[in-house]
Amino acid sequence: MSTATFTVTGMTCAHCVASVTEEVSEIVGVDGVEVDLDTGALSVTSSDPIDPAAVAAAVTEAGYDLVAP
């Protein structure tokens, strides 16, 4: 099991969290997604290491920005 942590900017409410969670959950191989509104922390759990570009694309699709590590 692999967990990757990212930071999302631009979220202001529970709907924002739900949008990010939904989009990231659709990435093939993702087993779990946790988003913290207060800190912008995004944790993605998967069987194999997840492609950060796929996470960035999903966050962008949701309408937010992923902070570069």
Given this model, what pLDDT does residue 69 score? 64
CA distances from 36 to 12, 61, 62 (A): 11, 18, 15
Given this model, what pLDDT does residue 68 score? 74
Q: List, for the chain, all residue ranges whose pLDDT scores fall below the cut of 70.
A: 69
Q: What is the CATH number of the domain that holds 55?
A: 3.30.70.100
Per-residue pLDDT tens over the stretch 37-53: 999 999 999 999 999 99
* Residues spanned by the domain of 8: 2-66
User: Of the candidates 36, 33, 30, 34, which has an alpha carbon nearest to the alpha carbon of residue 11?
Assistant: 36
The number of distinct structural domains making up the chain is 1
Q: How far apart are CA 12 and CA 46, in angstroms?
A: 26
